[in-house]
Structure formats: structure tokens, C-alpha cells
Chain A
Amino acid sequence: MSDQDLVVETVRDILSGFEPFVLTAERRWDAGLWSALASSGLTGVGLPESAGGSGGELADAVAIVRTLAAGAAAVPVAEQLLVAGPAVVAAGLPLPPVEEPLTFAVADSVSAVPAGEGFTLTGSVADVPWAGAAEHAALLLPGPALALVSLEGVAAGDAFNLAGEPRGSLALGGVSALVAPLTEGQAEELRAGFALARSVQLAAALERVLDWTVQYAGERHQFGRPLGKFQAIQMELAEMAGEVVAVTALVDAAVQALAHGSSDVVLAAAAAKVRAGAAVEVVARLAHQVHGAIGFTQEHKLHHLTRRLWSWRDEAGSELVWSRVLAAGLLADGGDGLWPALTRVV
């Protein structure tokens, strides 16, 4: 068993004690699950021990995020392990204790004013993942710069994505922060890293939705046969499988590009987000079609993942945003450069 299998097994064990639930403003995240993960050191995986993390590779962190996403776990692990944590470390800022959830947001209308040894932030930021649950936030500011703030005492607005995951705004007037400057390239890579994190989650959830649907088609009988014996259903499941295999292959390759420090990581992440996002329509639609009416209710588990799929595809940049970035990047050397670029990116 590889280290990664061991990590996945540990996460699965923990996850088996925490069923997904319908998120509400009152119960906006799974604090119990987070504590269990944190006390096993899993909320610091992939972050260097020297900075207070648990060590390990990017691949380990990705494996954790995948497992949690497939389990519809309501915890900010993708944000902490794949986006905010690495960004804080790379910027040379002190990583908050990894037991305290750290989120990430793009804060285009927040500015930092020097104050004493640090900075004071002004403005507000919307669409903050896990607002009201996270204790710290890494914010990408115009400039560009990375700000690290404690969210203690910061009021979080009530806004939620289609799955009920908190995506509220934070009013940051007068909050003190640590700020590190970034290059434009670093800022773009950070945005791409956020998109790649959502892509990893999408890939895992898409695969699990396929698994659930195949299983359901084997169990549900109509006309005296399991649904999966009907060719019409088989065609739909095969189409779903094609989407899932395509997404997995590209997301894996983009993660590799990130792990190897490829100079094309932004384009790789852009492609992964576009491809994963595009698969959502097909996979979620067909999963619901095969599940029938029960899948359209909160009594069945399917919605925990399909509602997340419909949310995540538009978060961290939609297909529209990233497809333009991707095409512009691929055409950087002109029309004749398209094919060489396609064979270089991943």
C-alpha cells in the first residue's frame, strides 16, 4: 500500500462516521468532521512541517481533497490544503495553526493600508468560501498582493451556493492583516490553483456520481429487470463514463503540471477547469435521469453531489472565464503556435 492509499484509507475511515447533511445557515459546515481530520493531522498535509504543516506531497493533499469531495464533506480542506495554505507559505507569511480552518478568496475591491508593522484592510469581499466557518482567510488583493487575516470578530454575510455551502461576504473595514506582494504571474497562478482545486473536487464528485448511478441502475428493477439491463440506460451510463474518464485524465495531468512546477500550470489548470465544468451538465443530468424522481428529493443522497457539481463548476472561474484564458494562452505564438502549445501544456 502506498503512502497515498494509506492517507485515503484514513480519510475514508474518518468520513464513515460523518454522513453528509443538508447545510443550512445555522449548520453551515461539518465542524465535527473538521475536528476529526485536524486531530489526525490531515488538515496540514502537503504543507511543510517547518511552517507548521504535516509534511507530505501535493499528491497526498490532492488525494485527501478527492476523497472528501466524493464524500460531500462540508469542510474547507480544498481551500486550505490546495490554495490558501500553499499561497501563504509561498508568500513567506506565517501559516496559521492548521487546526484552524483557513479559506481563500479573490478580493478585487479590498485594499491594504500600512499600519504600524502590518497593514489595515478596507473594503469587503464577496463569495468567500466557508464564510462564517473559516477562522482565517488568505485574500488575493489588487496590486497584486496576498493578505492573511484572522476572521475573529469579522461579520460574515449569509450567502450560499446551490449546495448550501457558505459563500458569504466579509466586511473587512479596519481589520489588520499581514500582506506580502505578489508578481502578476504569481497572482495568476494563485487564481489557477484555486480553479485546479475546484477541478479536483469536480473530478472526484463526477466519478462518485457515476458510481452511484451505476449502482442504482443495478438495484432498481422496472419491467422485471434492473434498469442497467436496458440498452437505453447503458448508453447513458457509458456517456457519463466517457465524461468522467476525460475529466480524470486531464485533471490528473494538470495536478502533475503543478507538482512539477511547469511553466504552463495556468493553462493546464484552465483546461482542467473548463473540461471538468463541461462534464457537469452531462453527468448530473443523466444521473438524475437514471435515478428518477427519488434522486430529485433530499431523501436521496444524490443531491449532495449534484448540487455541489452545479456550484463548483462556476466557482473559481467558470468555463467561460477559463476557456478565454486557455485560448489566449494557446494562441500566444499566433495561430500556427496552437498545436505546439497543445502538445506542450500537459
Chain B
Amino acid sequence: MNAVASADCREDALAALAALRPPVRVIAERERLVAFEMDAYVQRRETPMAAVLPDTEDQVREIVRALARLGVPVVSRGAGTGISGGATPRADGVMLVLTRMRRILSVDAAARLATVEPGVPNAQVTEASAPAGLYFAPDPSSQVVSSIGGNIAENAGGVHCLKYGLTVHNVMAVRAIDGEGDLLEVGGEALDAPGYDLLALLNGSEGNLGVITRATLRLLPRPEATETLLAAFGTVKSAAEAVGAIIGAGVIPAAIEMMDRVVIDACERYMALGLPRAEALLLVEVDGGAEETAETRAKVEAILAGCGVTEVRVAKDEEERANLWKARKGAFAALATVMPDYYTMDGTIPRRALPEVLEKIYALGREYGLVIGNVFHAGDGNMHPCIFYDSAKAGELERSEELGGKILELCIDHGGTITGEHGVGIEKLEQMCLQFRVGEIAAFHDVKRAFDPEGILNPGKAVPSLKRCAEWGGMHVRDGRVPRPDIPRF
């Protein structure tokens, strides 16, 4: 994917950036560029030709215009917490780093809106809104550091999506610079906007359609009460069935998270939390009015009792609540103690298929001789199988990636998707060819061209080229519908 920039091209790009007025901060020394050589998708790294760190929207526009004139790719980056390689650099491209644009421009308590620059960390929006009794609902686990611009670019999720939606449901307006350097003002303070819903396209566009320079976010009132309970099960299957039973009873919990034995053991070793000994744990959170929440919690307890639960712990206060969440929130850190390396997947499946798909995932793990742990958003059917490997052992990374691909295919086969919240990036390009057919991939490229005709913005990410899909031989036959035979295979 990465052509190495010719020396001339690099000189031209650096000269163009140096000529910008007011001057913009540019990093060109190789040793300082190391900081940007990868995001949290650590399997790939690359040194960009330069990094540029604007302070204002005007600078972003001028940077994109200057680089577009030269045909130099622009890879935008926020905090670099993405785990699909959306911000993996290109050797022939410039990193556009937005972390200096981190002002909260306004918190309008009456209108329940916050307007922020793209580099503001997610959690700071909620901190700034808290005095008004408000908060920003999307809460990816990286929220302390991950930036709003990145959250929008990836349409980030979190643990409360079933009830409160993804990022796309909580963004009112976005300002973005398109691939021609034009400022797009999309959405607004009103509850809809004229024309096509371009906001839907920009959310989750992985830096391909525009560089986000400002966002207006919808804030929600803090619920009056929240209750959290932890339920232990003797089998993964019974835990998965309990999830369906709760939702089937008309309860929409604020969160339902699941952890399997591998994860429970890792958490216990790492944090010594005194978790119940179980094959699976469910963490269920309900919120709403004070009386309502107590009623809902009682209802959930009754349902769990009918689903073979072996132990239920209910948090009595905020401290106990935090304790119950500790295992879930610390799970990924704990997992790092299992093996030197692990690789987190992100498929979503219809919830009813959870028991079967989990069983197949464990079987695949046995087949590949790799340990897999599962900690995930069970209420959304959004799975995060973690595949453990040792990169020091020859071939193990490749084997883990192959196993990951198989898991994603399993998700597609069960009517799901290859990514629920992490994005495609460079990681899942190949599986995109399985989930979508030629016509759909072509339509994605049409959308890309509408915003970025020259393909300057984060090229090679999010959507595979038709040529690559044909090379992989993976164009998909779905629902018995044969891919369009009239479209030439490259």
C-alpha cells in the first residue's frame, strides 16, 4: 500500500507546509516522527514523510489545499487510539495531527449542546457538562484519551450503545474540510437539516471524506438512578441466553457486558477482585427514575434466576458499582498478562446466535492452537474475541490474523458484520470483500469521490479497491445472489 515518497515529493510537501502563513507546526525529523508511526493497531507501522499539527480550522484547510495541489496523501490522527489502523501512516503521506485543537468552545446547558474542537478527549466533554447535570453518552473504553474527532471518524461505540446509541446518534453538527479543501458545515442546532444526510456519511468515514475540525454534540441529562449487578453462570450458553431473556422481557439495560472464563481468570490474577468462580459473568446496568430503576433491577434479578444464574451481586452504592465495573474496565489490561500479545476482534452478530458463534470461536481457537478470551457488549451482539499469540514465535502473528479473519467470516455467515465499532481501517479490508458485493464496494468509492475526488484523504483505508477484492478472490455470493457477472473482474 505504501509507496515510499520520492525525495522530491517530500521536499515539495515540506516547502509547501513551511510556506503557510501563519506558520504551522511541522515535524520532519525522522526520530520525532516515531511518535506517529502507528495507532493502537500495533501490527503495522510506517514512518510518514512528515507530521503537521495545526491549531486552527483555517490552518487545516490550508494544509489540505497545499497537499492536495501536490497530490500528497493526508492521514488524519487524533489521539491514535484506533485499533483498526485507520491512522496508520503512509510513507508517501503527511500525518495531520489534530491534538492541538482541543478547546471546548461552548457548553450550552439550556440547549444541551457542547461544541468542541476535534482533539478534545471524549471524557472531557462529560466533565465539562457535569455541572449542568448533563453528559455525552458515547463512551468508548479509550474515552479518557480518545478524541472527539476520532470518535466521529470511527463512529465509536462503547458499553451503553444499546440504550443510548453510537456516536452518530449523538452528534448534531460537524465542520469538516473535504478533499478539495472546502469547508463543509453539516447538520446544525436544529433536529434535522436540508438535503441528504451527509452527517450519516461523515460519522464512521475513517478520515476518508473530510477532516473534522469542529463538532456539536448532543448532551443528555444524567439519569436519576443507576443500578449495577454482576451475575455468574456455569456455562457461556446460559449467560448468552439470559441476555436474550432480559431484552425479550422489554428491558433495555444501559449496559450488558459479558466476560468468559479466560477473561475472568486474567482479571482475578491481575486485580484480585474476588470475582465469582464461573464460566461466564454478565455485568448488567439499568438506569432511569429512582423507583423505576429499583423495579427494573428486581425484574432483571427474577429473569436471571430463571436462566440458571449461580450467583448475583448487586452494588449497594457507588463504590460497589465501581468495583463491579473494575473487572470489565480493566479486562484488556488484565489480558495483557495472559500472553505477550493479543489481537482484539470486533464482529457483531444477531444476539440469538451468541451461544453458537461463541462455541465455534472456541473450536477455531483449538484448531489453531491459540487461546481466545471473550469480553464484549453482549446486549448489542458486538463481540470482542481476543486472540493471544507470541510475536516472538515465528508465524504466530500470521496465524492469529488468519484466525481473526475466520472469526469475522463466521460473523458474516451468521448475518452479522465484520466491525461493530472499531472500524475497517487497514485491518479488515479483505473481509469487506466478503461482506459486500462489487456494486456496493463501487458505491462506497462513489461516495468517497463525492467528498474527495483526487483521493487525498487517508487513501487505501476503510474500503478496499475492487482490484484488491478480485485478487483476494473473495467477492461474495450472498443470499444465493451471484455477484453481478456484467461487472468486469480486475
Task: Please determine whether chains A and B interact with each other in the same assembly.
Answer: no
A residues with a Cβ closer than 8 A to B are: none
B residues with a Cβ closer than 8 A to A are: none
